[in-house]
Amino acid sequence: MKEVKGHNLTLALGSLSVSYNDLGEGNTPLIFLHGYPFDKSSWNGQLDALQLVTRVIAYDIRGFGGSIDEDTAMSIDLFADDLIRFMDALHIERAIVCGLSMGGYIALNAQKRFPERFTGLILCDTQCNADSPEGKANRYRAIEGIKSKVVTEFGEAFVKKVFAPASLESKKDVVEKVRQVVLANSAPIMMAGLVALAERTESCSTLVNISVPTLFLCGADDAITPTAQSQFMHDKVTGSVLRIIENAGHVSNLEQPETFNFYIRDFLESVLV
């Protein structure tokens, strides 16, 4: 079967229609998993820059962007199952998987359960912990807030949290694009995503089992998953690499794309040999 390349392609995973971008050529694809509550467009800067290095794929996680699903109970386990089913549908036996924030939770979950499907791992602005009782309570309070005040108030506050203070001033066009993506989500999806985040299990205890090349990236000003979280994971994964990105917050790939892409390109050169 001839591979179809391009933007906004669709793929059926059972009753779910997944929207994805698939560019470049290479025997070892690099699959990008976006954070909550974004969509695949958050990786456009990486796909454009890295498609000359290898095959690069970004898809809308179930419920977000063009992968519409407002009926299924969401969980990180389900999102990880979707990743493997997506790879199966595209006849991808093994891949390098790059996940940011929630995408990192999905990547860690899938790597723990399906290690044979991974050639490498890139974990960006994420953590291995489950929510603390306080963190879980905060997410459920946010759900109640969305119920009573719709998406806008939560979304506006969220956008301000994910960027470094300097980025809010110097990268207003990027901030506005992210704002539009966040506010395009329906209230049911925003709430379902928060439940998935709140109920996730920890992956810290299995970090020592990761044997594939692993890169950690984190914005120096990430207030949601601070650099200490990446440092902790880096210390547990033998042979891993940690890069801290200056002048970036929780969405380091959007705030400092040139630096972010440089570190990934350097990592790929060591893996794709």
Residues 32-59 have pLDDT tens digits of: 999 999 999 999 999 999 999 999 999 9
Tally the C-alpha atoms within 13 A of residue 103's C-alpha that lie toward its C-beta: 29
**Which positions ≥6 away from 230 have C-beta within 8 Å?**
123, 125, 126, 127, 216, 217, 218, 242, 244
Q: What is the pLDDT of residue 2?
A: 54
Q: Where are the domains of the chain?
A: 6-130+202-271
Q: Which residues pair with 242 in a beta bridge?
A: 216
Average pLDDT of the residues in 227-233: 98
DSSP 8-class letter at 74: P
Q: What is the pLDDT of residue 4?
A: 77
pLDDT of residue 57: 98
Distance CA 65, CA 157 (A): 20
pLDDT at 70: 87
pLDDT higher than threshold 80 for residue 150: no
Domain 6-130+202-271 top-level CATH class = alpha beta
Q: How confident is the model at residue 148 (pLDDT cuts 50, 70, 90)?
A: confident
User: pLDDT per residue over 185-223, tens digit each?
Assistant: 999 999 999 999 999 999 999 999 999 999 999 999 999
Per-chain mean pLDDT for the chain: 96
Q: How confident is the model at residue 156 (pLDDT cuts 50, 70, 90)?
A: very high
* Residue with more model confidence, 218 or 145: 218
10 vs 273, residue with greater confidence: 10
Q: How many C-beta neighbours within 10 Å does residue 200 have?
A: 21
Query: How do residues 75-113 score in pLDDT, each as one tens digit?
Result: 999 999 999 999 999 999 999 999 999 999 999 999 999
Distance CA 126, CA 188 (A): 24
Average the pLDDT over 116-144 and give the result: 97
pLDDT tier for residue 183 given thresholds of 50, 70 and 90: very high
Predicted pLDDT of residue 60: 98
Spatial contact of 159 and 38, defined as CB atoms under 8 Å apart: no
Q: CA distances (Å), 186 to each of 69, 89, 90, 174, 183, in order?
A: 10, 28, 29, 21, 8
Q: What is the C-alpha to C-alpha distance for residues 58 and 30, in angstroms, rounded to an integer?
A: 9
Lookup: tokens for 203: 């992956």
Whether 1 has a pLDDT exceeding 70, the answer reads: no
